[in-house]
C-alpha cells in the first residue's frame, strides 16, 4: 500500500469511529505531514482520496471538513425468481459481453477481471521468465493429469486458512475455475438433470448448465446472507434436484458471505436429500475481513462437496490455473478432466507455485483486499451521486463486484446497448438469471483503476438511466432483488 493510501485509511477510520465528527475541520496539510512524518504531497493525495470517497469536503482557503453523513442506499431484499426448472437462456447477451474483451478505450465495468496492474505482481512476471528459461523440457512437455505436484502442495497449505484440510493427492489442477466446475458438473450430472442455483448467479456457470443440457432452478437469495435454505428445501421436496451450485463467500454478483450457521444448515439439508454441493470459492480469499470465512467443504464429512476455485480473481485470469477438491468424485473428475481438456499447461502452474512459496501471494492478496474494499466504497459513492433515486445497492463483504437494483421500469439491456456506443460496457442483471429476470439491475466491476475516466463513465451511465426514467411511464412498487415473480 502506498503512503498516501495508508494515511487515507487512518483518517477514514477516524471519521468512521466518530473521532472527527460531521462538519468538523480536519488538521491542516502541514500539521498532518509533521504528525505522520510524510511529505505535503502525500497528505494532499490522501485528502484527495477521501474527497473522492465523499468523506470530506474542501472549503476554499479554509481547509478540509468532514462531509455530512449521507444515508447509505438500502440493500436489495430477498430475490423472487421463477421457481421451476428452466433451460438457461441469455447466451446472446453473455456473448455480447465477452465480445468487448481487448477493445481499446472500452471502459469494462461489466467484466469480471481483477486489477492486474499492481506492482505486487512483478515477482510473478520474473518467475514466469525464470520458469521458461530454466525448465524448457518441463515447460514443453505434457503435464501429469493431476497437475504439478509443487502447486498442489502450495494449494493444500493455502486452503488451511479456509478450514479445508486436504493433501496434494486430493486436489486436481484444472484450466481455471471454469475447468473445475465443468469437470464437477460432468462427473455428477447427465443431460436432463436439474441443478439448483442462487438467484442471481454467475452467468458462466449457468451457461455450462445450458451447454450440458442440465436445467436450472433458481432459488431465492438474500443479498446479505445468501441462498434461502428454506426455499431450497421446498424445491427439493418438489423436484428431483441433483445438486446445488453456490458461491458462498464473496458471492458473484451479490458480494455476501454466507453465515457459518447457514452453511452448516445447507450441508445437512444436502445430506438429508442426498444431493451434492458444487462450491465455487473463487472469491473466498478476497474477503474484506481476516481470517477469511470457512468453506462449506470444511464441514463436509462424506465427500459430497466438490470445491472449485482458481487464481483468476486473486492473481490473474490469463494464468488459467484453477483446481478442484472433488471429494468422493475424484476418479470421475480425473476422467472428465482428461476427456474435456486432457492435461493443463505446466509453465503457469510452476510460476504460481513459486509465487506462493516465496510469500508474494499473501502480500499481493492482502494489498488487493484493501484496494477492492476502498474501490467498492468509492463506486458506491459515485452510484449514489449519479444514479437515479430509488436504487438499492449491495454492501459486499469481499470480492470486487457491486450489484445495483434500479426502479423496475429501467431496462438495462436497452441501456447497455446505448452505453456500448459510448464505449462503456456494463453487465445487465438479466445475464445472472436463467430465465432472464433482473432486467432492472446491473453489476459493476470495482477492480478497475478508479480514476477520472471511470468516474465520468459512471456519471454517463447515470445520465442514460435518468433519461430512460424521464421517458418511462411511472411505476410505484419496490421489488426485492430485481422485480416481481413472472
Ligand atoms: C463465480 C465465478 N466462478 C467461476 C468463474 C470462472 O473462473 P475462471 O476464469 O478461473 O475459469 C468466474 C469468473 O468470472 C466467476 O466469477
Q: Which of 200, 202, 279 to mutate to test the pocket of ligand 1 (most atoms within 8 A of CB)?
A: 202
Closest C-alpha to 181, from 310, 295, 73, 89 = 310
> What is the arithmetic mean of pLDDT over 63-73?
80
Work out the percent of the chain whose per-residue pLDDT is above 70.
96
For residue 423, is it left (φ>0), alpha (ψ between -120 and 50) or beta? left
pLDDT at 485: 38
**CA–centroid distance, residue 281 to ligand 1 (Å):** 9
Nearest atom of ligand 1 to the alpha carbon of 175: 11
Q: Is 445 in the pocket of ligand 1 (CB under 6 A)?
A: no
Note if the bond before 7 is cis, omega within 30 degrees.
no
Q: Is 247 in the pocket of ligand 1 (CB under 6 A)?
A: yes
The CA distance from 400 to 204, in Å, is: 17
The total of other beta-carbon atoms located within 10 Å of residue 91's CB is 14
Nearest atom of ligand 1 to the alpha carbon of 320: 10
- Which three three-digit cell numbers place residue 119? 506492482
Q: Which of 310, 311, 319 to mutate to test the pocket of ligand 1 (most atoms within 8 A of CB)?
A: 310
pLDDT at 301: 96
Q: Where in the chain is the domain with CATH 1.10.10.10?
A: 3-66
Nearest atom of ligand 1 to the alpha carbon of 202: 1
Q: How far is CA 237 from CA 80, 231, 233, 270, 400, in A?
A: 18, 10, 6, 12, 35
Query: Residues 94, 446, 321, 252: is their CA dihedral positive or negative?
Result: negative
At residue 196, does pLDDT exceed 60?
yes
Q: Is 255 in the pocket of ligand 1 (CB under 6 A)?
A: no
Find the Cα–Cα–Cα–Cα dihedral 22, 27, 28, 34, rounded to 10°.
-160
**CA–centroid distance, residue 48 to ligand 1 (Å):** 34
The DSSP code for 116 is -
> What is the arithmetic mean of pLDDT over 414-441?
95
- Which three three-digit cell numbers place residue 324? 478442484
Q: For the chain, what is the mean pLDDT? A: 92
> What is the arithmetic mean of pLDDT over 399-419?
96
Q: Is 112 in the pocket of ligand 1 (CB under 6 A)?
A: yes
437 in Cβ contact with 430 (< 8 Å)? yes
Provide the CATH number for the domain formed by 91-117+363-471 in this structure.
3.90.1150.10
**CA–centroid distance, residue 478 to ligand 1 (Å):** 31
Burial 50-76 (b: 16+ CB within 10 A, else e): bebbbbbeeeeeeebbbbeeeeebebb
At residue 486, does pLDDT exceed 50?
no
Q: Is 322 in the pocket of ligand 1 (CB under 6 A)?
A: yes
At residue 186, does pLDDT exceed 60?
yes
Model pLDDT for residues 386-408, shown as the tens digit of each residue: 999 899 999 999 999 999 999 99
> What is the arithmetic mean of pLDDT over 135-154?
95
- What kind of fold does domain 3-66 have according to CATH? Arc Repressor Mutant, subunit A (1.10.10)
Query: Residues 158, 161, 166, 167: is their CA dihedral positive or negative?
Result: positive
pLDDT at 447: 97
**CA–centroid distance, residue 181 to ligand 1 (Å):** 9
> What is the arithmetic mean of pLDDT over 410-421?
95
Closest C-alpha to 199, from 222, 215, 173, 176 = 222
> How does strand 392-393 pair with strand 107-108?
unpaired
Residue ranges of alpha helices (H) inside 248-345 are: 260-272, 330-340
Q: Where in the chain is the domain with CATH 3.90.1150.10?
A: 91-117+363-471
**Hey, whose CA ends up nearest to atom 7 of ligand 1?**
177
The CA distance from 402 to 446, in Å, is: 7
**CA–centroid distance, residue 282 to ligand 1 (Å):** 7
> In which band, very low, low, confident or very high, does the pLDDT at 75 lie, cut at 50, 70 and 90?
very high
At residue 177, does pLDDT exceed 70?
yes
At residue 484, does pLDDT exceed 70?
no
DSSP 425-483: E-EEGGGG-TT---TTEEEEETTS--SHHHHHHHHHHHHHHHHHHHHSPP-----STTS
Q: Is 278 in the pocket of ligand 1 (CB under 6 A)?
A: no
State residue 444 phi and psi, 5-degree precision.
-115, 135
The CA distance from 419 to 425, in Å, is: 7
At residue 278, does pLDDT exceed 70?
yes
286 in Cβ contact with 316 (< 8 Å)? no
Which is higher by pLDDT, 410 or 69?
A: 410
Highest mean pLDDT among 46-60, 82-96, 218-232: 218-232
**CA–centroid distance, residue 458 to ligand 1 (Å):** 24
Nearest atom of ligand 1 to the alpha carbon of 252: 1
For residue 261, is it left (φ>0), alpha (ψ between -120 and 50) or beta? alpha
Model pLDDT for residues 107-140, shown as the tens digit of each residue: 999 999 999 999 999 999 999 999 999 998 999 9
Q: Is 253 in the pocket of ligand 1 (CB under 6 A)?
A: no
Q: Is 312 in the pocket of ligand 1 (CB under 6 A)?
A: yes
Q: Is 282 in the pocket of ligand 1 (CB under 6 A)?
A: yes
Q: Is 111 in the pocket of ligand 1 (CB under 6 A)?
A: no
Q: What's the full length of the chain, in residues?
A: 486
Provide the CATH number for the domain formed by 119-360 in this structure.
3.40.640.10
Which residues on adjacent β-strands are paired with residue 199? 220
**CA–centroid distance, residue 175 to ligand 1 (Å):** 11
Nearest atom of ligand 1 to the alpha carbon of 181: 4
DSSP 118-136: -GGGHHHHHHHHHHHHH-H
**Hey, whose CA ends up nearest to atom 14 of ligand 1?**
112
> In which band, very low, low, confident or very high, does the pLDDT at 479 lie, cut at 50, 70 and 90?
very low
Helices and strands, counts by H and E, the chain: 16, 16
The single residue listed with the C-alpha cell 446491473 is: 442
pLDDT at 275: 98
Helix, strand or coil, per DSSP, at residue 256: coil
Closest C-alpha to 346, from 138, 67, 75 = 138
> In which band, very low, low, confident or very high, does the pLDDT at 481 lie, cut at 50, 70 and 90?
low
Please report, in angstroms and rounded to a whole number, the separation of the first and last CA atoms in the chain: 47
Q: Which of 203, 282, 320 to mutate to test the pocket of ligand 1 (most atoms within 8 A of CB)?
A: 282
Q: Which of 7-16, 145-154, 262-271, 451-460 has the lowest mean pLDDT?
A: 7-16
Q: Where in the chain is the domain with CATH 3.40.640.10?
A: 119-360
Q: Is 204 in the pocket of ligand 1 (CB under 6 A)?
A: yes
Amino acid at each position: 500500500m502506498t503512503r498516501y493510501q495508508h494515511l487515507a485509511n487512518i483518517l477514514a477510520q477516524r471519521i468512521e469511529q466518530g473521532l472527527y465528527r460531521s462538519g468538523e475541520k480536519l488538521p491542516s496539510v502541514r500539521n498532518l505531514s509533521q504528525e505522520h512524518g510524510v511529505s505535503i504531497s502525500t497528505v494532499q493525495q490522501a485528502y484527495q482520496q477521501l474527497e473522492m470517497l465523499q468523506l470530506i469536503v474542501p472549503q476554499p482557503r479554509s481547509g478540509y471538513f468532514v462531509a455530512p453523513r449521507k444515508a447509505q442506499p438500502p440493500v436489495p431484499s430477498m430475490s423472487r425468481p421463477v421457481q421451476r426448472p428452466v433451460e438457461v437462456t441469455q447466451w446472446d447477451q453473455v456473448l455480447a459481453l465477452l465480445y468487448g474483451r481487448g477493445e481499446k478505450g472500452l471502459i469494462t465495468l461489466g467484466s469480471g477481471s481483477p486489477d492486474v496492474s499492481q506492482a505486487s505482481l512483478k515477482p510473478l512476471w520474473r518467475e514466469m521468465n525464470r520458469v521458461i528459461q530454466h525448465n524448457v523440457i518441463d515447460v514443453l512437455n505434457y503435464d501429469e493429469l493431476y497437475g504439478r505436484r509443487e502447486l498442489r502442495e502450495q494449494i493444500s497449505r493455502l486452503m488451511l486458512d479456509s478450514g479445508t484440510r486436504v493433501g496434494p493427492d486430493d486436489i486436481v489442477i484444472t484450466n481455471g475455475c471454469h475447468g473445475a466446475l465443468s469437470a464437477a458438473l460432468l462427473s455428477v450430472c447427465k443431460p436432463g438433470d436439474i441443478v439448483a442455483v442462487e438467484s442471481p448467479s454467475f452467468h458462466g456457470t449457468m451457461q455450462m448448465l445450458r451447454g450440458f443440457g442440465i436445467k436450472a432452478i433458481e432459488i431465492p437469495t438474500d443479498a446479505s446472507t445468501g441462498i434461502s435454505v428454506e426455499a431450497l428445501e421446498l424445491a427439493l421436496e418438489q423436484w428431483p434436484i441433483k445438486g446445488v451450485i453456490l458461491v458462498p463467500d464473496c458471492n458473484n454478483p451479490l458480494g455476501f458471505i454466507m453465515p457459518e450457521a447457514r452453511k452448516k444448515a445447507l450441508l445437512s439439508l444436502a445430506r438429508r436429500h442426498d444431493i451434492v454441493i458444487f462450491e465455487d470459492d473463487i472469491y473466498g480469499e478476497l474477503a474484506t475481513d481476516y481470517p477469511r470465512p470457512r468453506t462449506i467443504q470444511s464441514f463436509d464429512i462424506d465427500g459430497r462437496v466438490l470445491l472449485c476455485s482458481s487464481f483468476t480473481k486473486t492473481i490473474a485470469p490469463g494464468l488459467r490455473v484453477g483446481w478442484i477438491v472433488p471429494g468422493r468424485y475424484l476418479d470421475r473428475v480425473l476422467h472428465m478432466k482428461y476427456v474435456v481438456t486432457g492435461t493443463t499447461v505446466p509453465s503457469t502452474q510452476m510460476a504460481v507455485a513459486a509465487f506462493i512459496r516465496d510469500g508474494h501471494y499473501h502480500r499481493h492478496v492482502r494489498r488487493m483486499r484493501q484496494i477492492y474494499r476502498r474501490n467498492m466504497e468509492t463506486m458506491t459513492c459515485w452510484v449514489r451521486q449519479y444514479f437515479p433515486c430509488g436504487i438499492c445497492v449491495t454492501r459486499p463483504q469481499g470480492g470486487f463486484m457491486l450489484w445495483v437494483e434500479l426502479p423496475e421500469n429501467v431496462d438495462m439491456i436497452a441501456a447497455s446497448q446505448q452505453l456500448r456506443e459510448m464505449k462503456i460496457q456494463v453487465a445487465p442483471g438479466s445475464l445472472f438469471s436463467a430465465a432472464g429476470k433482473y432486467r432492472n439491475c446491473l453489476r459493476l466491476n470495482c477492480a478497475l483503476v478508479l480514476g477520472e475516466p471511470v468516474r465520468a463513465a459512471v456519471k454517463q451511465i447515470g445520465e442514460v438511466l435518468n433519461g430512460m426514467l424521464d421517458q418511462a411511464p411511472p411505476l410505484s412498487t419496490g421489488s426485492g432483488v430485481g422485480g416481481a415473480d413472472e
